[in-house]
Amino acid sequence: MSGHEFDMVVRGGTLASAAEVFEADIGIRGGTIAAIGRDLPRGAEEVSAKGMIVTPGGLDPHCHLEELGQDGSVHEESFSSGSAAALAGGTTSFICFLPQWKGHTLAASAPGYETRAAQSRADYSFHQIITDPTPEVMQREVPALVARGIRSLKVFLTYDPLRLTDAEFIEVLATARRLGAFVTVHCENYDAIGWRIAALLKAGLTDPISHAWARPPVVEREATHRAVALAELVDQPIQVFHVSCEEAAAEIARGRARGLKVWGETCPQYLTLSHDDLARPGFEGAKAVCSPALREKAENERVWRRVQDGTLDVVSSDHCGFSFATAKRAPGGGYGQGGASARPDGTPAFNAIPNGAPGIETRLPVLFSEGVSKGRIDLPTFVRLSSANAAKLFGLAGRKGSLMPGADADLVLWDPDAERTIRNADLHHAIDYTPWEGLAVKGWPMVTIRRGEIAVRDGQVLAQPGSGRFLARGPYALATPTGRVPDGFDAAGVL
Ligand code: URP
Ligand code: ZN
Ligand code: ZN
Is there an atom of ligand 1 within 6 Å of 186 CB?
yes
Q: Is residue 176 within 8 Å of 183, Cβ to Cβ?
A: yes
Substitution site in 76, 186, 240 for ligand 1 pocket (most atoms within 8 Å of beta carbon): 186
Determine the distance separating the centroid of ligand 2 and the alpha carbon of 129, expressed in angstroms. Answer: 11
In this prediction, residue 73 carries a pLDDT of: 77
Is there an atom of ligand 1 within 6 Å of 215 CB?
no
Q: Which residues contact 136 (CB under 8 A, 6 or more apart)?
A: 105
Least confident interval from 227-236, 240-249, 298-307, 328-337 = 328-337
Between the alpha carbon of residue 24 and those of residues 10, 36, 37, 386, the distances in Å are 9, 6, 5, 21
DSSP code for 259? T
pTM as predicted: 0.96
Quote the mean pLDDT of the chain.
94
Q: Could you identify the atom of ligand 1 that is nearest to the CA of residue 290?
A: 1
**pLDDT tens figures, 6-20:** 999 999 999 999 999
Higher pLDDT, 214 or 75: 214
* Residue of the CA atom closest to atom 8 of ligand 1: 291
Tell me the average pLDDT across 464-488: 74
Residue 126 reports pLDDT greater than 60: yes
* Residue of the CA atom closest to atom 9 of ligand 1: 318
In this prediction, residue 495 carries a pLDDT of: 47
Q: How confident is the model at residue 204 (pLDDT cuts 50, 70, 90)?
A: very high
**pLDDT tens figures, 164-188:** 999 999 999 999 999 999 999 999 9
Three-state SS letters, 184-227: EEECCCHHHHHHHHHHHHHCCCCCCCHHHHHCCHHHHHHHHHHH
Tell me the average pLDDT across 338-363: 89
User: Can you list the positions of beta strands (E) in 148-192?
Assistant: 152-156, 182-186
Report the relative pairing of strands 32-37 and 8-16 from DSSP bridges. unpaired
In this prediction, residue 86 carries a pLDDT of: 99
Higher pLDDT, 290 or 340: 290
In this prediction, residue 332 carries a pLDDT of: 62
CATH architecture of 58-371: Alpha-Beta Barrel (3.20)
Tell me the average pLDDT across 346-374: 96
Between the alpha carbon of residue 468 and those of residues 116, 305, 316, 335, the distances in Å are 12, 35, 19, 27
- Percent helix, strand, coil in the chain, to 5, is 30, 20, 45
30 burial via Cβ count (<10 Å: 0-12, 13-18, 19+) = exposed
**Residues forming beta bridges with residue 449, ordered by sequence position:** 411, 454
**pLDDT tens figures, 84-117:** 999 999 999 999 999 999 999 999 997 899 999 9
Is there an atom of ligand 1 within 6 Å of 283 CB?
no
